Amino acid sequence: MDTIASLFSFITTPVSWVIVQFHTVYGAIFGPDTGWAWGLSIVSLVVLIRICLIPLFVKQIKATRAMQTLQPEMKKIQERYKNDKQRQSEEMMKLYKESGTNPLSSCLPILAQSPFFFALYHVLNGIASGHTVGVINESLLASARQAHIFGAPLAAKFKDSSDTIHALGASVTDVRVVTILMIVLMSASQFYTQRQLMTKNVDTTVKTPFMQQQKMLMYVFPIMFAVFGINFPVGVLVYWLTTNVWTMGQQMYVIHNNPTPGSKAQGAYLERLYKHVTHHGKTRNRRERAIVKAIVAKGRDRNEFERKFINGLNKAGLAAQADGTVVKSESVAATQSEDGTQVTATAPAPRRQQPKRQSKAQRQSTAGKPDEAGSSTSLSKSDEPQDASPAAPGKAASKPGNGTRSRAQSGQRKGPQRPKSPSKK
């Protein structure tokens, strides 16, 4: 541990100075020797570090999204070389190099926190050993040794002997109960953070080694915290628990407002966005316009949730534009209700009018009245020539229109027909 402490000694002094500055503020409120003053100083150190790491967190999000876009190509490589693991790994690395992505980018915030973590561990270990560290002098050392969090000293560990714990003014039971509770909370928060990432913010339609890696970390990290937590001082457990809670809240914010395309979180987000856009009739801010613009630009490459969103807008009489705005569609007629609210209703397509079917008696009566044929509906056309054959002697003349109807039924072609010769008796 001395070797590790010497490696991070360059940052021990800045970390101890930040803790002392926060302790000065909280000590004036809660008292300089209380656990609240020292505990809140550690919490404030975490908040300050995580605020400084926000640019790295944004870079981590972008790298994760880039990995998501590569998943279809990764799936093809996985299927093509499923029997050759070495060639599969080579093609994966080639794909990463060509796209400019790095799978390790998701670990940047953790790697950046490591120096601060070991520096804080070195400071608290010095307090437990009774040695001054960084800017912590003798008076601050005595004050820190008297500070307890729920009965457990800041520098106490789960595996400390009873003599060491009694020398810090605490009981073994208090120390072990507090440390176990903190380890459980620390492991549970880490597991929940990784689980909500896997279940809500990952495109589950594509299975890649990256997905398997994330799933493995969901179980490995909590176990690591549980195993190594018994060797951490209480102050370090406070630091790491605060870090996990910050990460969990930060992850929940990203999932709620900027989900991964194709994930369940995107489906929930687009459903909320659809309700807001249809209620206001437009996108409300730049972020919503950017999301709509990205969906429109995908065209046929939209996923299921994005197609559902666009189709919902069309049914509501709205159309998403290429610049991210939403306008009313021209195929929708807007009507004003009595209470003044705007109601949109799609104009129905005109139905094709079919001629009313007539009975045999109606067709015969219509054919017997040529002067009313223009005002009544008939199956025969007005411009079709009538049968000019003379009536046979002794027989009743055939009714006009019967010849036309019989020709239509027998399938004869239209046009003037050769008149039939009169029948002989």
Q: What is the pLDDT of residues 4-21, one digit of tens each?
A: 555 666 788 888 899 999
Neighbours of 325 (CB within 10 A): 15
Decide: helix, strand or coil at residue 150. coil
Mean pLDDT throughout 153-177? 88
Q: What is the percent of the chain with per-residue pLDDT over 90, rounded to a whole number?
A: 13
Digit-coded pLDDT (tens) for 66-89: 776 677 777 788 788 888 888 888
Decide: helix, strand or coil at residue 325. coil
Contacts of 109 (CB under 8 A, 6+ apart): 53, 56, 57, 60, 247
User: Quick one: CA dihedral 37, 127, 51, 220, positive or negative?
Assistant: negative
pLDDT band at 190 (very low <50, low <70, confident <90, very high): confident
Give pLDDT, residue 356: 63
Residue 386 in tokens: 């009538």
Q: What does DSSP say about strands 342-346 and 332-336: parallel, antiparallel, or unpaired?
A: antiparallel
Give pLDDT, residue 417: 56
pLDDT band at 160 (very low <50, low <70, confident <90, very high): confident
Helix runs in 299-421, H state only: 304-315, 360-367, 402-410
Model confidence, pTM = 0.67
With 90 as the cut, is the pLDDT of residue 200 above it? no
Q: What does DSSP say about strands 152-153 and 148-149: parallel, antiparallel, or unpaired?
A: antiparallel
Give pLDDT, residue 28: 92
Check if the beta carbon of residue 18 is closer than 8 Å to that of residue 132: no
Give pLDDT, residue 59: 77
CA 236: distance to chain centroid? 34
